[in-house]
Structure 1
Amino acid sequence: MTSAPRHEIRAAHTPSTVTVYQAYAPEIGLPAARDGRFPALWKRDRMTWIKPSFLWMMYRCGWAEKPGQEVVLAVEISREGFEWALRHACLSSYTRSVHSDQAAWKRELRRSPARVQWDPERDLSLQPLAHRSLQLGLSGEAVRLYADEWTVGISDVTALAREVRAAVRDGDRERAARLLPAERPYPVAGLELGHLVP
């Protein structure tokens, strides 16, 4: 079996949408899933990180058991919005192979409404893998667009998180793998994303 490229966007996606994940406290997550939009309590003036990898989200929220992250949301957003964020993003840390110097990176960071970092993808035991998973941070204009224009639907997938974890605990990794959302390489041809790959 061939190994995955070190930096590759993988996500559940359709011809028009991409699914990303976030985890919140019940007072935000439950009304968001119920109403299909983020409630007034959700802060638009803060950076929000979206993650196309279900298992990376499980690592981040501890299978929905970390305080303040008890509700896992699958947020379906438009591909147009997702790609806008990628085109307007910069890397979250200075990378010599991408940036001419640290000052240039800092200037880019200040003017970019989105940022990208690549963290080790996770397996069913939430152990790190050799390839990386995309995390996309949205701020300013990008946060408002995400909440008001890009979001197509919001679903509560906390029960799925618990079901996958139970299968892993029972030693039935095949069942756990079958339950996972089908994440495939996201087509990036023509998007010119060289500025996001270290």
Structure 2
Amino acid sequence: MQEVPQSASAIPLRQIRAVFDDATIRVYQAYSNVIADAALAAGTFVSPPFKMERMTWIKPSFLWMMYRAGWGFKDEGQQRILAIDISREGFEWALANGCLTHAEGEGGAAPPKDRFPVRIQWDPERDLHLDKLPYRSIQIGLGKEAVNLYVTQWIRGITDVTPLAHEIHALVEAGKLDEASVRLPVERVY
């Protein structure tokens, strides 16, 4: 299994990088305390408070999740960072049943989104300062059909990584980037 190259110029524009093994891949989401506590207690998302009818976005990139949630400090609705281990079969089903949220290339038109249960979006990856990098990370939006599969079949485990996020953030704020880097989850090319 290949490790992510150190040089940003050697990294393709679009590449899935994640923590994974033979059976699972890790994705991240940020939620309020009430949703996170219920999910951690049940080992999956519980409705209510989790809304099964809403699109939910999963992100394999830890640093992109930190950007989106502001290290868990952005707002009350994103104060808990969860690492969700899902089946690789489920993840690959999501990829196979998704459409891009935006058209690719010049003159390209995105397919009609209502025909697909999953949305795929490629956004700039982030560094420890949450600044944009020259390559992209995948975000996967699960619509109603996919959310049901995610919650009832794909999830293998949920871990609260908020303390890790806060620890890394504190090291970044203190200028201890080497220490912060070694605490990051090791994401490999998927």
TM-score by length of 1: 0.88
Q: Which residue of 1 aligns with 2:174?
A: 170
Give the 3-state SS of the residue equivalent to 2:91 in structure 1.
helix
Q: Distance in 1 between matches of 2:141 and 2:167?
A: 28
TM-score by length of 2: 0.91
Displaced runs of 4+ in structure 1, greater than 4 A? Answer: 96-99
List aligned pairs for 1:10-29, cutoff 5 A: 10-29=17-36
List aligned pairs for 1:47-196, cutoff 5 A: 47-67=55-75, 68-96=77-105, 99=108, 101=109, 105-106=111-112, 109-186=113-190
5+ residue gaps, structure 1, are 187-198
Aligned equivalent of 2:14, options 2, 7, 12:
7
Q: Which residue of 1 aligns with 2:4?
A: none
Alignment of 1:33 with 2:37, yes or no, is no
Alignment of 1:42 with 2:50, yes or no, is yes
Q: Give the percent of matched residue pairs that are identical in Structure 1 and Structure 2.
A: 50
Q: Distance in 2 between matches of 1:98 and 1:48?
A: 29
Give the 3-state SS of the residue equivalent to 1:56 in structure 2.
helix
Q: Distance in 1 between matches of 2:58 and 2:118?
A: 11
**Displacement of 1:97:** 6.0
Q: Distance in 1 between matches of 2:159 and 2:54?
A: 22
Q: Which residue of 1 aligns with 2:3?
A: none
Tell me which amino acid in the other structure corresponds to 2:21.
T
Report how many residues are paired.
181
Give the 3-state SS of the residue equivalent to 1:29 in structure 2.
helix
Give the 3-state SS of the residue equivalent to 1:62 in structure 2.
helix
CA RMSD of aligned residues (A): 1.4
Give the 3-state SS of the residue equivalent to 2:10 in structure 1.
coil
Q: Distance in 1 between matches of 2:186 and 2:71?
A: 18
